[in-house]
């Protein structure tokens, strides 16, 4: 097997070299060493179904395989995330029935929608810590099985207050986004992690679309058995509840935390020393780019989450569709995630190959702005076919923007990589809470007006991407710095460590990452022949 | 992929272009004659009525003040349950609209009877699926083609008098509650069992 070229320009997935900051990093590339081939024939990596790197992470992505442990972890991860999306948005297509049962006002419905996405702001931040301490398996299982009771408790709901409380508690399970991405990051090597995470994220997000089809169908079937609508919708929630329990059990029995085994039974050796949380937190928060991405994701994923909550009711009320048909239309919004999000990640990788980081930023801006423009059009469309067309184009633009954003995020920081992913993810939920509160929770705007206004605000809030500037790569409008020191990747990533930490060699991982990230110079990276500068650290052999 | 989406969407557009042809005559509420006299008397007055249990006695007839041939166009009378303004507050899906095809304030059909010159009445048991709210009754006189030509309602023009309140069923069932509790306990329980089992396994491994 020919050795892989780790620094190949813009190979798919070179963007997301490890989503969390916890991977083992070596000071020189073990994969390319000629003697690594000889080792493989009689070393334990031979037992893996897929070719693996020196950390036993899979080097190949085979979506149709369920081989233990890598592909199995991928499938368990994205299906768990998918199931949580189904539960969180299960109420949305049934709102026309629920609002009559509980005598809800538009404000009540809007507030419950805000609540359904707010819980995850905190649970997503906490999930990173849980995965570190207990492993991705338990993180996922906790999320699934501790929120399943909340799903079942829809049978007790009798008024607006309890409805809101239950939707809030169900919303906590969206933390599976973090555990799913964490799990794939420890199972798949950096070169392909972009595509793997884009698929896992996109296919999981599809749950928001599938639920718009599934719940009306389940509701209809239960009504056929003779139940009144006001009982049928409560019983319908048992289905997402069951799915969560089943997935929880599967994750615990079939899943594995790490390629070599489970966290609790593994003897850990040669582990990179754990970084201090306070430092990681400070460098994430101090970096202004983190907050720009927070806002941006709030208006791509945030808009997507909001639409999952309001679109079915919008088509039901405005175009007089049946619950079932409105569900089908709404579902197509979420289902576009199947290809749209991976496409966004891929487009980001391709533009990086040609134009470097500047290409990624432009791709992100274009996709998100175009998506938002189609959202404005959706609100203004008064005929059903035009509305559907606008919605489809809007969905592709916005979801691809989500994928493209995670092509930029890993480069913002190396030390605080995991926390930035968590913060960005929380930003998505925050944006959704804000948009639902402002545009869809009062009678001030009709839903149609709300959609158009949300699109306008999304266009405006996408402009900050022009301010993301990397000294070594430039920004949308500015060229990279010409300064000798600042134009090096090592300077940017090394800047996150103090001199004391550097003298201890703690920053080695960042330096390696900086070398690999030279691909973000675009075509110029091929021409540049920059040796790794002396960083003042003791030589490591 | 974007191209495929575009083609699919254009297919939908072109196949639906027909749907707006043959634009129908628009009936406006403002154009209707208030020539029907409608009364609605709940069997229990002054209390909130229960859906599926309580009854309302509805009567309708041509108003005595109506001119001689006002009812010439009527073929059928459609009696509907309508939301009072208080039940429409902050609920745009129940909005009153002048264009009758877009009006959402009278979604619940009670009965549809052929028009008879004699006063008609009905003892209507409130439908079990009626949502909680405050209501009045309206009857539309429709012509041969089904278009409304006249109406009458049990309340006044501002819809403030003679309203009655209905309490809908909760939809909750004890069996559902019990099942919900059982499955929740199972969910927590199985998680605990796994945690304990794995801790034990880890301890055994350490001893080895």
In this predicted structure, the answer to whether residue A16 has a pLDDT above a threshold of 50 is no
Mean pLDDT of A258-276: 60
Cis peptide before A69, with omega less than 30 degrees from 0? yes
Within 8 A of A386 by CB-CB distance, chain B residues are 13
Residue range A495-539, pLDDT digits in tens: 888 888 888 777 777 787 777 777 778 776 655 555 555 444 444
- This prediction's pTM: 0.81
**What pLDDT is recorded for position B70?**
66
What one-character DSSP code corresponds to residue B165?
Answer: E
Q: Which residues of A fall within a CB distance of 8 Å from B128?
A: 228
Query: Is B97 an interface residue toward A (CB < 8 Å)?
Result: no
Chain-chain contact of B170 with A230 (C-beta, under 8 angstroms) = yes
Structure tokens at A225: 């058995």
Which residue of chain A is at minimal alpha-carbon distance from B52? A228
Under a CB-based contact definition with an 8 Å cutoff, are residues B32 and B150 in contact? yes
Q: Which residues in chain A have their CB less than 8 angstroms from residue B195's CB? A: 138
**Percentage of the residues of chain A whose pLDDT score is greater than 70:** 85
Residue B90: which of A107, A138, A153 has the nearest Cβ? Answer: A107
pLDDT, tens digit, for every residue of B83-111? 999 999 999 999 999 988 888 999 999 99
* CB contacts, 8 Å: A392 with chain B: 5, 8-9
The dihedral built from the CA positions of residue A137, A139, A141 and A144, taken in this order, carries a sign that is: negative
CA nearest to A141, candidates A83, A95, A90, A96: A83
B68: distance to nearest CA of chain A, Å? 39
Higher pLDDT pick, A50 / A27:
A50
Chain B residue closest to A446 (CA)?
B92
Residues of B in Cβ contact (< 8 Å) with A343: 1
pLDDT of B188 > 90? The answer is yes
Partner-chain contact A230 B171, CB within 8 Å:
yes
Residues of B in contact with A100 (CB under 8 A): 131-132, 168
What is the least distance, in Å, from the CA of B88 to any CA of chain A? Answer: 9
More confident residue, A56 or B121: B121
Which chain A residues are closer than 8 Å to B198 by Cβ? 262, 264-265
Mutation target vs B (from A234, A243, A448; most B CBs, 10 A cutoff) = A234
State yes or no: pLDDT of A253 exceeds 70: yes
Residue A44's pLDDT is 56
Tell me the H-state helices in A225-356: 229-236, 238-254, 277-286, 288-298, 301-318, 323-335, 337-355
CB of B99 less than 8 A from some CB of A = no
Across the interface, which of B1, B5, B205 has its CB nearest the CB of A265? B205
Which pLDDT score, from 0 to 100, does residue B165 have?
A: 93
- A37 vs A34: CA distance, rounded Å: 6
- Spatial CB neighbours of B33, under 8 Å, sequence gap ≥ 6: B66, B70, B149, B150, B151
By Cβ distance, the residue of A100, A145, A230 closest to B187 is: A145
Query: Which one of B1, B90, B131 has the shortest CB-CB distance to A100?
Result: B131
Residue of B nearest to A159 (CA): B170
pLDDT tens digits, one per residue of A451-461: 999 999 999 99
| Model confidence pLDDT, tens digit, residues A360-410 | 899 999 999 999 999 999 999 999 999 999 999 999 999 999 988 988 888
> CB distance B90–A389 less than 8 Å?
no
Can you name the residues that pair with B166 across neighbouring β-strands?
Answer: B49, B133
How close is the nearest chain B Cα to the Cα of A156, in Å? 7
Reading the block at residue A463, the tokens are: 């402009």
Q: What is the dihedral of CA B132, B137, B139, B140, to 10 degrees?
A: -50
**Contact yes or no for A197/A72 (Cβ under 8 A):** no
Of B12, B132, B176, the CB nearest to A103: B132
Helices (H), A135-206: 136-152, 160-171, 176-187, 193-205
**Which one of B93, B133, B176 has the shortest CB-CB distance to A155?**
B176
């Amino acid at each position: 097997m020919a050795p892989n070229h780790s620094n190949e320009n813009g190979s798919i997935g070179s963007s997301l070299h490890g989503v969390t900051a916890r991977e083992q990093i070596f000071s020189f590339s073990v994969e390319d060493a000629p003697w690594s081939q000889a080792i493989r024939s009689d070393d334990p990596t031979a037992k893996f179904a897929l070719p693996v790197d020196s950390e036993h992470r899979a080097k190949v992505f085979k979506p149709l395989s369920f081989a233990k442990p890598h592909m199995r972890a991928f499938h368990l991860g994205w299906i768990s995330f998918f199931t949580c999306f189904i539960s969180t948005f299960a109420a949305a297509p049934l709102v026309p029935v629920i609002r009559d049962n509980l005598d809800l006002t538009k404000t009540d419905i809007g507030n419950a929608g805000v609540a359904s996405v707010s819980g995850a702001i905190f649970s997503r931040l906490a999930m990173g810590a849980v995965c570190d301490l207990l492993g991705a398996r338990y993180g996922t299982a906790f999320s699934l099985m501790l929120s399943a009771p909340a799903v079942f408790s829809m049978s007790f709901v009798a008024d607006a207050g309890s409805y809101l409380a239950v939707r809030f508690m169900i919303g906590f399970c969206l933390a599976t986004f973090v555990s799913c991405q964490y799990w794939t990051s420890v199972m798949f090597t950096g070169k392909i992690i972009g595509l793997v995470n884009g698929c896992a994220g996109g296919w999981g997000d599809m749950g928001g679309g599938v639920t718009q089809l599934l719940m009306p169908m389940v509701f209809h079937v239960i009504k056929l058995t003779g139940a009144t609508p006001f009982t049928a919708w409560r019983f319908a929630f048992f289905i997402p509840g069951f799915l969560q329990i089943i997935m929880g059990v599967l994750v615990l029995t079939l899943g594995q935390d790490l390629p070599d085994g489970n966290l609790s039974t593994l003897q850990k050796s040669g582990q990179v020393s754990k970084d201090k949380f306070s430092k990681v937190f400070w460098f994430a928060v101090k970096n202004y780019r983190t907050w720009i991405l927070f806002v941006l994701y709030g208006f791509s994923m945030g808009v997507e989450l909001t639409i999952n909550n309001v679109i079915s009711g919008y088509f039901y009320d405005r175009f007089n569709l049946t619950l079932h048909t409105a569900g089908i239309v709404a579902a197509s919004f979420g289902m576009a995630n199947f290809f749209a999000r991976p496409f966004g990640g891929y487009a980001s990788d391709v533009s990086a190959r040609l134009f470097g980081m500047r290409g990624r930023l432009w791709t992100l801006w274009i996709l998100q702005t175009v998506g938002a423009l189609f959202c404005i059009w959706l609100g203004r469309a008064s005929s059903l076919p035009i509305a559907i067309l606008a919605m489809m184009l809007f969905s592709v633009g916005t979801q691809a923007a989500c994928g493209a954003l995670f092509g930029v995020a890993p480069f913002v920081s190396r030390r605080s990589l995991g926390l930035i992913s968590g913060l960005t993810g929380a930003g998505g939920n925050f944006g959704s809470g804000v948009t639902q509160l402002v545009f869809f929770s009062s009678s001030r705007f009709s839903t149609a007006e709300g959609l158009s206004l949300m699109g306008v605000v999304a266009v405006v809030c996408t402009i900050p991407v022009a301010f993301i500037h990397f000294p070594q790569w430039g920004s949308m409008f500015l060229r990279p710095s010409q300064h000798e020191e600042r134009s090096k990747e090592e300077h940017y990533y090394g800047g996150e460590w103090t001199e004391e930490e550097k003298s201890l060699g703690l920053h080695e991982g960042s330096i390696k990452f900086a070398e690999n990230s030279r691909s973000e110079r675009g075509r110029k990276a091929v021409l540049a022949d920059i040796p790794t500068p002396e960083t003042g650290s003791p030589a490591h052999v | 992929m974007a191209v495929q989406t575009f083609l699919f969407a254009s297919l939908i557009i072109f196949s639906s272009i027909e749907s707006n042809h043959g634009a129908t005559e628009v009936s406006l509420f403002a154009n209707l004659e208030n020539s029907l006299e409608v009364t609605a008397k709940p069997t229990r007055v002054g209390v909130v009525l229960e859906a599926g249990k309580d009854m309302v006695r509805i009567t309708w007839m041509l108003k005595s003040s109506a001119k001689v041939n006002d009812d010439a166009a009527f073929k059928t009378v459609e009696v509907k349950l309508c939301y009072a303004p208080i039940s429409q507050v902050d609920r745009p899906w129940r909005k009153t609209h002048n264009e009758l095809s877009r009006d959402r304030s009278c979604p619940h059909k009670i009965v549809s009877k052929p028009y008879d010159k004699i006063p008609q009445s009905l003892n209507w048991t409130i439908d079990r699926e009626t949502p909680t709210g405050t209501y009045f009754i309206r009857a539309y006189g429709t012509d041969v083609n089904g278009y409304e030509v006249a109406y009458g309602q049990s309340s006044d023009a501002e819809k403030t008098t003679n309203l009655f309140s209905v309490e809908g069923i909760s939809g909750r069932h004890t069996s559902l509650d019990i099942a919900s509790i059982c499955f929740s306990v199972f969910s927590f329980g199985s998680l605990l069992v796994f945690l304990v089992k794995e801790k034990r396994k880890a301890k055994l491994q350490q001893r080895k």
